[in-house]
A and B are shown apart, each in its own frame.
Chain A
C-alpha cells in the first residue's frame, strides 16, 4: 500500500466552479499535511500547510484534514483558468531532526473559461 494515494484525474471544470481534490494516507502517525501546486515545466510551490486535524483557509483555498479517516482535501472556490495545474498532496515526515516529503501522484486540474 502506498503511503499517500491521490486520484490523478484529470479533472476538468468550468470557471467559477468549486473544486474538491482529495488524498488518503496510510500511517495514522502523520501529522503535517501539505498541498503543492505545480504548473507545467515548473517546480512545486507550497499552497497550504496544515498540522493535525481541522480546516485552514487562505483566500479561495481551504485545506481540510480528517485524521479519523486519514483523508485530506483541498477545496478551491471560484476557480479560475489560472488555477489550471497539477495539485500534489504531501506528508511532511520528520525523523531524527530531519524531514522529507512524501507526495501523492498529483491531480491534473483544467479550469476552462
Chain B
C-alpha cells in the first residue's frame, strides 16, 4: 500500500514565478491537507480539501490556492513567489476530514 506521495521532491524557482505541487493521498483517503514547514519550524496549516472543495484555510494569502480532483489527488499552487515561500511543503491525507492525518515526504521549494 503506497502511502502519501508528493511530486516533485525538490524545486528551485525565482521570485515572482508560479509553482504547482502535487499530492496523491493514501489509498482509501478522500481528504487532503497542505502544510508549510519553514526551516527549523513546525508545519503550518495552509488549507484542507474534501469533496473537491476547500473546507478550511489557515492564515495564508490568496497567492496560495489549491485544487482537489475527483480521484482525491490535490495540487497546491503558489503565485508571485517570495523568498519567504522557501520551505518544505507537506501534504497529509486522511480517511475523512476529522480523522488522523498521514503525511507525505514533502516537496522542498527553494525560491531564489
Chain B residues within 8 Å of A, Cβ to Cβ: 4, 33, 35, 40-45, 48, 50, 55-56, 58, 90, 92, 94, 97-106
Contact of A103 among B44, B48, B102, B106 (CB under 8 A): B44
**Cβ A105 vs Cβ B40 within 8 A:** yes
Number of interface residues of A (CB under 8 A): 26
Beyond A97-B97, A98-B48, A100-B48, whether A43 also contacts B42 by CB under 8 A is no
- Residues from chain B with a CB closer than 8 A to the CB of A90 are 42
Q: Find residues 61-112 in chain A having any chain B CB closer than 8 Å to their own CB.
A: 88, 90, 94-106
- Inter-chain CB contacts under 8 Å: number: 62
**Cβ B55 vs Cβ A43 within 8 A:** no
Q: Find residues 1-18 in chain A having any chain B CB closer than 8 Å to their own CB.
A: 4, 6, 8
Query: Nearest 3 A-B pairs (CB), nearest first?
Result: A103-B42, A43-B103, A98-B97
Chain A residues within 8 Å of B, Cβ to Cβ: 4, 6, 8, 36, 41-46, 49, 88, 90, 94-106
- Residues from chain A with a CB closer than 8 A to the CB of B56 are 95-96, 98, 100
- CB nearest neighbor in A for B6: A43
* A-B contacts besides A46-B100, A94-B98, A98-B48, 13 pairs, CB < 8 Å: A6-B42, A8-B40, A36-B103, A42-B105, A42-B106, A44-B103, A49-B100, A98-B56, A100-B45, A100-B48, A100-B56, A101-B45, A105-B42
**Cβ A88 vs Cβ B42 within 8 A:** yes
User: In the docked arrangement, what's the CA distance between A49 and B94, Å?
Assistant: 15
17 A–B pairs (Cβ distance < 8 Å), ordered by A: A41-B105, A42-B106, A43-B4, A43-B90, A43-B92, A44-B103, A46-B100, A88-B43, A98-B50, A98-B56, A100-B56, A101-B35, A101-B43, A102-B45, A104-B42, A105-B41, A106-B41
User: In the docked arrangement, what's the CA distance between A72 and B106, Å?
Assistant: 27
**Cβ B33 vs Cβ A100 within 8 A:** yes
User: In the docked arrangement, what's the CA distance between A41 and B35, Å?
Assistant: 15
B108 to chain A, nearest CB (A): 8
